[in-house]
Every structure is written in structure tokens, then in C-alpha cells.
Amino acid sequence: MSSDAASPAGDSGSAPVTLSGHTGVDTAVIGAGVVGLLTAWQLRLAGHDVTVIAPDIAQDASYAAAGMLAPISEVQYGQDELWPIMTASRTEYPQLLATLSRATDVPTGYRENGTLLIAADRSDRDAVAELAVLQREHGMEVTALTSSTLRRREPALAPAISKGWDVPSDHQIDPRQLVAAVRAALDADLDPRDFPEAGEPAQWLTASVTAVEEVPGGSRGFTVTTDDDLARPFSAVVLVPGLGYSAIRGLPETCPLDLRPIHGDVLRLRVNPAQLMPGETHVLDATVRAKVNGRSVYLVPRADGGLVIGASSREDSLTGTHAGSVQELLSDAVAVLPGVKDMELTEITTRARPGTPDDRPYLGALRPGLVVSTGYSRHGILLAPLAARLGAALLDHSLAGTPAPVAPLTAADEQLLASMSLTRGRS
């Protein structure tokens, strides 16, 4: 990553900003996780000249994520308002990836390999079966599989596992590959025939933001101060710093957000070539989500022979890797897929999810030209396409004012935004 100076705001802070085509609005995107990078991409597509400011590129939650795009298998009781957000974002993935692929040929690791829900013993089976009933009641496609179908589909699963449920539309992406692809798209010289309105290639600034302050005197614009004590002007700002939000000064005190770290330990393995028959690339085809002794474990097979096993969910004070969690993840994974024992363990990663009380993110405008997008909790990779599109559209709306929105917000968008409101849950 280069460490270029941000582009100067010039006098754009004093004139009302109008948006059409390549607007040249200089916009700071603060945070470079998957949500921040995709938001920067949507803003570039909408004509903004984007500067991404972060101490690193996607080294926090996005670095650990398995990348399950699983609005159905991630369903939990009492989260009715989260499901429409997850489902809407899932629907936006193909379009997002198609647009990205016109800007770069860097792969994203997207795989439509479906998900199987399974259980180790009788009480685990009852729990998974109950959840499958709930999922079906909400119109989700979840089909019970007989033991012989399960065996035929995934012969490497432990012989004791006799029951499974098929969720054919829950897929996966590789977040690290996605990050590389979005970075390339942000840097690319885009063909104007494909992207007639796009802004300039992104500027990258390696720094932590310490403050975002409105330019005084009623004119539009913001001063962004970084930890090297430099202050730079921008016409617009989108804050996407994950858990870093609460450390940034200057934001309206009326909007503290209820964010907390939820630590997750995750393992990365590689299939041992000795485990494969000629022509095979993996011992597992679908993503497997299992209940083992009441605990949850998932196994996500990558196309290149990788396997991601995750993830613990801890709210303790240990920010490093928790030995007991690693032990449980490995033994539960072996109970489901005995071949895990013979694989190469290549990485153990621990990161914190930016958690919120209801697992729903916070997305909204604090001021004209200032949007907050954080709290993506357990589902940020899944939610990123929706978050990026709505974050960019909200910014344009707040800049242009009604009734001349650039990117229309539909009634359905408004409803989704209401359930992600910055002030929900407050009296």
C-alpha cells in the first residue's frame, strides 16, 4: 500500500455539492475491512474520488472471516429483523461480483457449493431439526437428507453421522481474495465505456484516524485528523472502522454506538495430497455446519484444497488465541470429518467481531456528507454488498438532498435502513 497524501479538498467545502456523473467529490472512507473497501468501490462507481484511510488493509475481523454467505444456516432464534438484511445482501452478491469482474480479473474465491447442516448425536440432532423447522416456517429452503444420500454426497463424513439437512443456497467467498480483488478494482484505470461515471483510482493513506470534525461556519466539509497529527479536508466522509469507531473524536455525542468485541478463533488447514484419489481436489464438497456436544463448528472447503474450521465466540478479555477453543474446534471437526487429523494445520487466527446487542449493524447518516457503517458483527462478509450500496447511496442522498437523489433508495431499502438505524433501541 502506498502512503500518498490525500487529495486536497480545494474550495469544495464551501459550495453545495451537486452529484451527476463523475462528481469529483473527494470522499474519505475510514477503515479498510471488507465493508470499507466495498463501500469505497461503490462510491468510486458513483463518481466520487475516494481516499481510503486505515492503518492497514483488512487485518482485523475481515482477515479472520471464513466467508460463509449463509443467511439460512446462520439463522438464530429471536433475530427476525436480521434475516431480511442477510437475505437482501445475499441476493446482491452476483451483481456485485459481475461488476467487479469487469474491473479486474483477480479472483474472489466465490463458490456456489451449498451447505449441509449435521449433528453428532441424538440431542444435537434434535436441536438442528428444531432449527430446520423454524427455517422452513420462514420460507427458507432446507431439505432433510437420508443417511444414504448424505453418505453419497459427502463420503468422508464420520460414519456415525446419520442425518443431515441440505441448504443449497448458502455459499461462500474467500474474504482475503475478495479484498485483493476490490483493491485491484479501486486501483484500476477503468474503461469509461464500462464505467462512464466512475471516479479516479483510489488514494491510499496509511494512518489511524483520531478525529473527524465538521468545518465550522455552516459550510460543507470535514477535517480528518490522523495519528501523525496531520489534518486533511474532505467534502464527505464514510466511517467504516469496525470496532475502532469509539476511539474517533469529534463525532456527535448524541450518537455513541453500542459496540463490543466478540473474539473468534479460527483454524486454516490444507488437505494432505495422500488423502485424495486421482482427480480429486478435496475430501469435502459442501460447507458443513455441525452441532457436536451442543457446540457449533463449521468446516468450509476451499476450491484449492484449503479448509477453514471455525469459530469460537468469546467475550472474555483474552485478545490472543484461546488454547481451549482451538482444542475444541479441532476435536469437534475430527468428530465430523475424521480426515481432519491427517491434514496440515497452516494457520490459527484470532480476531474480534464488531458486535452489537442485536447482531444488526449500524448504518446511517450523522450529518449531510457524514455516514457511519459499522457493527457488522458475525455477518459482515455476507452483509458487505448491501452495506456498501446503501452506505454510498445514503452519502449521496445526504449530500444532494431530496428530491434529487442520485442512487435511488427504494421503499425496501428504507425498511432495511430502519432496522440498521444508529439510534434504535434508545428511548
Ligand X SMILES: Cc1cc2nc3c(=O)[nH]c(=O)nc-3n(C[C@H](O)[C@H](O)[C@H](O)COP(=O)(O)OP(=O)(O)OC[C@H]3O[C@@H](n4cnc5c(N)ncnc54)[C@H](O)[C@@H]3O)c2cc1C
Nearer to ligand X by Cβ, of 30 and 337: the residue is 30
Contact map string, positions 250 to 269, toward ligand X, x by CB under 6 A? --------------x-x---
**Of positions 288, 335, 340, 381, contacts ligand X by CB under 6 A:** 381
Residue ranges in 66-85 that form contacts with ligand X under rule CB under 6 A = 66-68
- What DSSP assignment string belongs to 234-249? ESEEEE--GGGGGG-B
Burial per residue of 31-61, b for 16 or more beta-carbon CB atoms within 10 angstroms, e otherwise: bbbbbbbbbbbbbbbbbbbbbbbbbebbebb
> Is residue 380 close enough to count as binding ligand X by CB under 6 A?
yes
Burial of 7 (0-12, 13-18, 19+ CB in 10 A): middle
372 beta partners: 239, 364
Nearer to ligand X, 58 or 157 (CB): 58
- Residue count at the site for ligand X (CB under 6 A)? 43
Q: Does 422 bind ligand X (CB under 6 A)?
A: no
Using the rule CB under 6 A, which residue among 72, 259, 309, 382 binds ligand X?
382
Residue number with CB closer to ligand X (105 or 229): 229
* Contact between 34 and ligand X per CB under 6 A: yes
Q: Site for ligand X (CB under 6 A): which residue of 13, 71, 305, 310?
A: 310
Reading across the β-sheet that carries 344-355, which strands appear in turn? Answer: 143-145, 164-167, 115-119, 287-292, 295-301, 306-310, 260-270, 344-355
User: How do beta strands 115-119 and 287-292 pair?
Assistant: parallel
Question: CA 47, CA 176: separation in Å to the nearest integer?
Answer: 26
Nearer to ligand X, 19 or 390 (CB): 390
Nearer to ligand X, 337 or 388 (CB): 388
Residue with smaller CB distance to ligand X, 162 or 349:
349
The distance from CA 366 to its chain's CA centroid, rounded to whole angstroms, is 22
The CA-to-CA distance between both ends of the chain, in Å, stands at 44
Tell me if 225 sits within 8 A of 22, measured CB to CB: no
* Interface pick for ligand X out of 377, 390, 391, 396 (rule CB under 6 A): 377
Please report how close the Cβ of residue 40 comes to ligand X at its closest, in angstroms: 11
For ligand X, the closer CB: 36 or 195: 36
Eight-class DSSP state of 33: S
Angle separating helix axes 175-187 and 82-103, nearest 10 degrees: 50
Name the grid cell of 42.
461503490
56 binds ligand X (CB under 6 A): yes
Q: How far is the CB of 33 from ligand X (least distance, A)?
A: 2
Which is closer to ligand X, CB of 118 or CB of 205? 205
Smallest gap from Cβ 316 to ligand X, in A, equals 14
Closest distance of CB 49 from ligand X, Å: 19
Per CB under 6 A, 117 contacts ligand X: no
Determine, following the binding rule CB under 6 A, whether residue 378 of this chain makes contact with ligand X.
Answer: yes
Judged by CB under 6 A, the chain residues 192 through 251 that form the site for ligand X are 208-209, 240-242, 244, 247-248
User: Which set of grid coordinates corresponds to residue 418?
Assistant: 430502519
Please, which residue, 32 or 119, has the CB nearer to ligand X? 32
Residue 61 binds ligand X, judged by CB under 6 A: yes
Q: What is the grid cell recorded at 83? A: 434475516
Cα of 87 vs its chain's centroid, Å: 14
Q: Give the nearest distance from C-beta 308 to ligand X in angstroms.
A: 8
423-425-427 Cα angle (round to 5): 85
The answer to whether residue 30 forms part of the interface with ligand X (CB under 6 A) is yes
36 counts as binding ligand X under rule CB under 6 A: yes
DSSP 5: P
- What is the per-residue burial (b if ≥16 Cβ within 10 Å, else e) of 214-237? bbeeeebbbbbbbeeeeebbbbbb
According to DSSP, the residues that pair with 249 across neighbouring strands are 211
Q: Is 33 in the site for ligand X (CB under 6 A)?
A: yes
Which region, judged by CB under 6 A, interacts with ligand X, from 55-63, 125-133, 138-146, 404-412? 55-63
Using the structure block, give the residue that is written with the C-alpha cell 429452503: 141
Instruction: List strand residue ranges (DSSP E) for 62-157, in order.
Output: 68-69, 115-119, 143-145
Is residue 43 a contact residue for ligand X (CB under 6 A)? no
Give the Cα separation of 142 and 59 in Å (integer). Answer: 34
Taking the complex as a whole, how short is the minimal distance between the CB of residue 65 and ligand X, in angstroms?
A: 3
Asked if 35 contacts 20 with a C-beta cutoff of 8 angstroms, the reply is: no
- Reading the block at residue 195, the C-alpha cell is 464505467
13 near ligand X (CB under 6 A):
no
Binding site for ligand X (CB under 6 A): 30-36, 53-56, 58, 60-62, 64-68, 208-209, 240-242, 244, 247-248, 264, 266, 310-311, 351, 353-354, 374, 376-382
